[in-house]
Amino acid sequence: MSGSAREIVQFARDADSLSEGMSPEEVASAHDAVSVGGLVYPWGCQYPPRAVPEWREGFRVGLRGQDPESVLDAHQCILSMSEGWGNPRIEAAIRHFRERYQGVDMVDTSQLSPQAILLLKELKDLLNPYGDFRGLLASSGSLANNQAIALCMASLGGEERTQMVAMEGGYGGRDLATNAMLCTAPGWTGDTTLQSLAAKAIRVNRDGSNLDQALEQMRKAYTEGRSPLWHTEDGIQGVGGFHVYPPELMRALAEEVTRLHGKKIYDEVQTFVRNSAGPLGMDLWGDRNNPAHRPDAVTFAKGLGNGHGIGATMVSEDTLRAVAAGRKPGNTFDTFSQPLDGIVAARMVLRMVLEKEQWKNVAARSARFKRQTADFQKRYPDVVAEVVGTGGMVGLRLTSPAMAIRALTLAPQKGVIFAKGGKGDILRTSLPFSVTDAFVDELCGCLADVMQELQQASEKSA
């Protein structure tokens, strides 16, 4: 089992000590009785109905549906691991803080926390090359995106003056809950993706194939009094399957949104320095010195906390001044938005990122991953369709969703874990910011073991 997988197993075993001795069947039964998930399935029904937890060696490894196959989708674990689980520098900083401030875990938004203010200052300093920003913390990336959307929408004059622009398959915040009270347009509540806003949002195909049409729709909306509000994962799609947006597509959208006096939200929740070009994903596709490329809001989470819950919304001064001058509600917050373990972890992650310019490390190790997997499609033609992604957001697109399920089932036995993405056919194997050559070598070896066994099984059944 790889080091990362072993660390995650131990982490989960420690958490499992609070299970009060319940069997997997008892946990599943209780879940069905008391959880919303017992009736309304999460994540767009990616998992089969009545999926129940499966344990191996005391560790909940995934979900078992009505068929005998098991699914391990380690989305949160993998994408949150930026400096390695249990990183000694980060955990030592958290222990020191707990000893100094015993009994304090969460701070209400209305309270002032020195650690929170220092984190916001450090994020502001990080973003200085991209503009002048102020920050608002949250406990997750979804809430950070909600806050960014609410503030940018208010700066444009409210929902009736806003034209949402979303990327195909993109993830854009939990549910726009803050604005839901004011909104009567169908499709604006109760879903997890901006793609669900079909009644109002302009959807841009991630390959740019409908760019001209989307730009024309934006111009038409502007003549009708609605300015564009563009939310995008910054350069590389996350949940959608590590698709890399064409740089010319990103530049064209950014420039037109700016020309139409709109707002741009760049989501770094999964990307961040995994883009391999700089602190923001836009360093991969844009020019930080071009005002038309710069963001109006930036969101962070996941890797920022290295497994500890934290989210951050950074909003430009110009956007905030427009909110303050307007009459539309815009300020929003996550009540207990200052999770102190997450704040301390985030400050340490930022320090480590800047000390070693870790986007450069990600670039070098990503190239190593690409070299070692370049012939996978040729070696395993029944299994692998292509290697996807760039930087630290890399993985494999398999030949079918069914093949991906088989890979997810087999992977833990080979010492590796994946996050599923795309249309269910992509295995996301994101790299930590601090990834080493040894990590990449072991990861690629485990991947080869999984693909080889699946290829042999396919040939045998043919």
- How is residue 236 annotated by DSSP? B
Instruction: Please name the residue ranges forming H helices in 35-186.
Output: 75-80, 88-100, 114-127, 141-155, 177-180
Closest of 241, 159, 264, 253 to residue 214, by C-alpha = 253
CB under 8 Å to 320, separation ≥6 — which residues?
134, 151, 155
The per-residue pLDDT for 39 is 58
Check: CB of residue 274 under 8 Å from CB of residue 362: yes
313: buried, middle or exposed (CB in 10 Å: 19+, 13-18, 0-12)?
buried
Closest of 458, 409, 382, 397 to residue 48, by C-alpha = 409
Closest of 191, 207, 173, 238 to residue 420, by C-alpha = 238
The answer, yes or no, to whether residue 57 has pLDDT greater than 80, is: no
386 bridge partner residues? 397
The answer, yes or no, to whether residue 11 has pLDDT greater than 70, is: no
The per-residue pLDDT for 12 is 43
In percent, the amount of the chain with pLDDT more than 70 equals 73
pTM of the model: 0.84
Check: CB of residue 373 under 8 Å from CB of residue 390: no
> Encoding tokens for residue 203?
């959807």
Check: CB of residue 331 under 8 Å from CB of residue 323: yes
The answer, yes or no, to whether residue 19 has pLDDT greater than 90, is: no
d(CA 139, CA 124): 18
d(CA 163, CA 106): 36
98 pLDDT band, cuts 50/70/90, is: confident
> Which is higher by pLDDT, 223 or 442?
223
Q: Residues 327-347: pLDDT tens digits?
A: 665 555 566 667 888 999 999
- How is residue 435 annotated by DSSP? -
Across 290-306, average pLDDT:
95
Q: Residues 378-411: pLDDT tens digits?
A: 999 999 999 999 999 999 999 998 898 888 878 8
> Encoding tokens for residue 364?
């070098």
- How is residue 6 annotated by DSSP? H
Instruction: Please name the residue ranges forming H helices in 230-357.
Output: 247-259, 282-285, 317-325, 340-356
Check: CB of residue 49 under 8 Å from CB of residue 41: yes
Check: CB of residue 282 under 8 Å from CB of residue 288: yes
**Dihedral angle sign, alpha carbons of residues 225, 245, 238, 128:** negative
The answer, yes or no, to whether residue 219 has pLDDT greater than 90, is: yes
Q: Work out the number of other CB atoms within 10 angstroms of the CB of residue 297.
A: 27
Across 260-279, average pLDDT:
95
d(CA 30, CA 32): 5
d(CA 279, CA 300): 11
The per-residue pLDDT for 10 is 44
d(CA 45, CA 80): 22
The alpha carbon of residue 26 and the mean position of all alpha carbons in its chain are separated, in whole angstroms, by: 32
44 pLDDT band, cuts 50/70/90, is: very low
The identity of residue 38, as a single letter, is G
> Encoding tokens for residue 170?
């993109």
d(CA 187, CA 182): 13
76: buried, middle or exposed (CB in 10 Å: 19+, 13-18, 0-12)?
exposed
